[in-house]
Amino acid sequence: MGTRALPIVAPGTAQSTAKQEPMGFFTDTSICIGCKACEVACKEWNQLPARGDGGAHLEMSGQSYDNTLRLSGDTWRHVKFVEQFPQPYEGRWLMMSDVCKHCVQAPCLEVCPTGAIIRTEFDTVVIQSDTCNGCRDCIGACPFGVIDINHVSNTAQKCTLCYDRISVGLEPACSKACPTDSIQFGPISELRERAAARVVQLREQGESRAHLYGADPNGPLGGLNSFFLLVDEPEVYGLPREPKMPSRNLVPGSLLSTFGALVMAFVGALTLRASRMRDVARARREDAPRAD
């Protein structure tokens, strides 16, 4: 992954400075039972509506037992149901409680033009709702399709990793509610050790496909502060194999545009000059017989 260390907040923008130990989530999908208690706890604590229209219309997906379907501005936790049924009586469900990944190098934070997206003292990424003006640049920049407009606040919103709760020593609502400890909250270093041990345990039990997604600090986006244990390919869970920083195109795109701009300026100036020279030459030719 070719990521570069750009400054991630504008000079002078407000951000927490008292750095603490990075905190995050480890989501072990192998023990998720798809109860959606995390979704409900998240909505209750953060006072999020059941749907964008306030829950007046219950929409059914019609294609899955999962009717939430995706993360959005008013659904900050979403339990994905991956229904793998090649034969009617042969198959399995994979459950994964998806959430903002709180990337160590966060694409949303990188592109935000108002400074609304900040990194907290817990190394998490939070959108300040009173600063966001809903330009939606962060939505297109997020490699995981996490961010969306909340239609109550009309600003971009996503999981805050319960900043208000962890600031006073409480556990985030989703991990507190999780009945199987599929969602675990804690210091990233501890979570990584626990996750690595769990992968070893699963492989010993015969689940050879068990692996961690986003736990490597040298991996894409500098690692994810919300990482996952998966038992299939990332794409099966709707996760990109190689999430990238948007700024990868900044220098080449700008250089190509600058080159094009120079070409346009020179072509315009040269063709205009040539046109005027032809005009002068024609005028001289027309004047010549009269002079004789």
Partner 1 sequence: MQTDLPSTFFTAPPGFGWPIITYFFLGGIAAGALLLAGLLRLFGTAADRPYIRIASIVALVGAFISVIVLILDLSAPLRFWHMVIQNNTGRLMFKWWSPMSDGIWILTLFSFFALVAVLESLALEDRPRLRGLRFLSRAPFHAVGAIGGIVFGLALAGYTGVLLAVTNRPLWADSSWLGIVFLFSAVSTAIATLLLLSHWRNVDSAITNDWLARFDNVTLVLEFFAIVFFLISLGGAARALLNAWGVVLVLGVIVVGIILPLVIQRRPSHSVVLPAVLVLTGGLLLRMVIMLSSEQIHVSGVQVFR
Q: Are 93 and 236 a contacting pair, CB within 8 Å?
A: no
- Minimum distance from residue 3 beta carbon to partner 1 (Å): 13
156 vs 188 by CB, closer to partner 1:
156
194 vs 244 by CB, closer to partner 1:
244
Tokens of 108: 């949303």
Q: Are 149 and 73 a contacting pair, CB within 8 Å?
A: yes
- Minimum distance from residue 261 beta carbon to partner 1 (Å): 4
6 vs 197 by CB, closer to partner 1:
6
Q: HSE of 278 in the Cβ direction (CA atoms, 13 Å)?
A: 6
Tokens of 151: 């239609």
Q: How far is CA 18 from CA 22, 123, 164, in A?
A: 12, 11, 16
196 vs 264 by CB, closer to partner 1:
264
Alpha-carbon dihedral sign for residues 18, 221, 193, 227:
positive
| Cα–Cα distance, 185 to 84 (Å, whole number) | 29
107 vs 172 by CB, closer to partner 1:
107
Q: Are 258 and 121 a contacting pair, CB within 8 Å?
A: no
- Minimum distance from residue 9 beta carbon to partner 1 (Å): 8
Indicate the DSSP class of residue 37.
H
- Minimum distance from residue 16 beta carbon to partner 1 (Å): 13
- Minimum distance from residue 194 beta carbon to partner 1 (Å): 26
